[in-house]
């Protein structure tokens, strides 16, 4: 029987790893069940201080005894991280969860060895407050128990969505993985515009943050298509229509499409750059 809180090793202590740990700890995941490996001493000290977890400079020390390994390093670093752990992975047979953009389960199996249950996922930054959106896909070795374990891990951080076709994971990266940055950019632009119109910074921030939060909640909870919600707030000849016309004239919709396409394409490029020479031949 899978324990309520399986021993978890997170390799990498950067922003996303911190978001994962923060979300898990906030939802009751015990500190004693989490270990993080991170080469930077300052980052290790911060993680230990803020979350009470064990931290290690050595990856082997972090994963020893863990039934789930989370790979939270940059895609370019995965070969040098995984290859030295392959023997231990073959012995321990952990569930491997990777949050690296563009890296397929087949590539991970090439570096860690055959027969492992591997889940590739793409969470996003709001996972740190339990509002994450995570796309997930498993290889052929992920059975119902492994899927449930991965779902428990990432589901503690927000909404999860399983993808049947791994080729669609780059699109998940482009839409939700990098999506919060799109909203932050919009908020940044709205803040600058609000200040230019004479609003105080504190007032502008409060209004913008709640406007974006309220709009997102309405979209999530109403079940209405975004186009319908936009129509409801756009009165003919009113202020919203004037703003929408500027967005339309500026090519807002195709620009968003181009941005998501660029992020999706970049995920594929990262994967291609990591292909082993014999695999790419």
Query: DSSP letters of 191-208?
Result: HHHHHHTT--HHHHHHHH
Domains identified in the chain, total number: 2
Based on the domain organization, do 73 and 108 belong to the same domain?
yes
pLDDT in tens, 61-113: 999 999 999 999 988 899 999 999 999 999 999 999 999 888 899 999 999 99
Q: Does 270 map to a domain?
A: no
pLDDT of residue 239: 96
Q: Which domain holds residue 84?
A: 8-169
On whether both 199 and 152 belong to a single domain, the answer is: no
Q: Among 114, 145, 169, which residue terminates a domain?
A: 169
pLDDT of residue 272: 76
Strand-pair partners of 135: 122, 161
230 within some domain:
yes
List pLDDT tens digits, range 214-237: 999 999 999 999 999 999 999 999
Task: Examine the pLDDT at 191 and tell me if it is beyond 90.
Answer: yes
CB-CB contact of 176 with 127 (8 Å): no
Other C-beta atoms lying within 10 Å of the C-beta of residue 197: 8
Same domain, 32 and 159: yes
- Same domain? For 65 and 149 the reply is yes
Which tokens is 246 given? 């500027």
Residue 134 pairs with which residues in a beta bridge?
A: 160
Co-location of 142 and 185 in the same domain: no
Q: CA separation (Å) from 214 to 129, 189, 191?
A: 17, 18, 17
Residues 37 and 75 in one domain: yes
For 125-176, write each residue's pLDDT tens digit: 888 788 999 999 999 999 999 999 999 888 888 999 999 999 899 899 899 9
The distance from CA 169 to its chain's CA centroid, rounded to whole angstroms, is 12
Q: Are residue 70 and residue 123 in the same domain, yes or no?
A: yes
Q: How far apart are CA 100 and CA 245, in angstroms?
A: 39
User: Do 109 and 238 belong together in one domain?
Assistant: no
Q: Is 195 a member of any domain?
A: yes
Task: Let me know if residue 276 belongs to a domain.
Answer: no
State the CATH number of the domain containing residue 198: 1.10.3730.10
Could you tell me the two tokens for 203?
A: 């007032």
Evaluate if residue 117 carries a pLDDT over 70.
yes
Alpha helices in the chain (DSSP H): 15-26, 41-51, 59-63, 78-82, 86-92, 105-112, 144-155, 169-172, 179-196, 201-222, 226-233, 239-249, 252-274, 277-280
Burial environment of residue 223 by CB neighbours within 10 A (0 to 12, 13 to 18, 19 or more): exposed
pLDDT of residue 5: 82
Tell if the pTM clears 0.75, that is, is over it: yes
Do 217 and 129 have their domain in common?
Answer: no
Virtual CA dihedral for 105, 110, 116, 121, nearest 10 degrees? -20
CA atoms within 13 A on the CB side of 170: 17
Q: Which residue has the tokens 């229509």?
A: 241
Which one is predicted more confidently, 197 or 268?
197
Record the tokens describing residue 78, joined without a space.
Answer: 């995965």
- 259: phi then psi, degrees, rounded to nearest 5: -65, -45
**Tokens representing 101?**
């953009």
Question: What pLDDT score was predicted for residue 94?
Answer: 97
- Residue 238 has what pLDDT? 96
User: pLDDT, tens digit, for every residue of 37-54?
Assistant: 999 999 999 999 999 999
CATH of the domain at 135: 3.40.50.720
Task: Write down the pLDDT at residue 2.
Answer: 45
Selection from 99, 253, 237, 270 nearest residue 176 by Cα = 99
Distance CA 1, CA 23 (A): 24
pLDDT number for residue 101: 81
Residue 279 lies in a domain: no
58 within domain boundaries: yes
Q: Are 185 and 212 in contact (CB under 8 A)?
A: no
pLDDT at 275: 66
Predicted confidence (pLDDT) per residue in 239-280, tens digit: 999 999 999 999 999 999 999 999 999 877 877 776 644 433
């Amino acid at each position: 029987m899978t324990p309520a809180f399986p021993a978890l090793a997170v390799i990498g202590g950067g922003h996303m790893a911190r978001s994962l740990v923060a979300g898990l700890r906030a939802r009751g995941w015990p500190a004693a069940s989490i270990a993080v490996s991170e080469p930077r001493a300052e980052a290790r000290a911060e993680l230990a201080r803020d979350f009470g977890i064990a931290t290690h400079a050595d990856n082997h020390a972090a994963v020893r005894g863990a039934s789930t390994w989370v790979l939270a390093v940059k895609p370019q670093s995965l070969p040098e991280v995984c290859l030295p752990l392959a023997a231990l992975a073959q012995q321990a047979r952990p569930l491997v969860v990777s949050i690296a953009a563009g890296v397929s389960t087949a590539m991970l199996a090439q570096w860690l060895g055959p027969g492992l249950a591997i889940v590739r996922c793409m969470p996003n930054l709001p996972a740190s407050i339990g509002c994450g959106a995570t796309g997930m896909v498993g290889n052929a070795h992920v059975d119902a128990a492994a899927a449930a374990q991965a779902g428990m891990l990432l589901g503690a951080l927000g909404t999860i969505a399983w993808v049947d076709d791994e080729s669609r994971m780059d699109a998940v990266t482009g839409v939700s993985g990098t999506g919060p940055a799109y909203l932050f950019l919009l908020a940044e632009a709205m803040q600058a515009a609000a200040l230019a119109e004479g609003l105080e910074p504190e007032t502008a921030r409060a209004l913008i943050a709640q406007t974006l939060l309220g709009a997102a909640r309405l979209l999530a909870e109403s079940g209405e298509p975004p186009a319908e919600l936009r129509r409801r707030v756009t009165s003919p000849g009113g202020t919203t229509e004037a703003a929408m016309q500027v967005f339309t004239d500026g090519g807002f919709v195709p620009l968003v499409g181009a941005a998501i396409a660029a992020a999706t394409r970049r995920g594929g490029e990262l994967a291609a750059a990591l292909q082993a020479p014999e695999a790419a031949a």
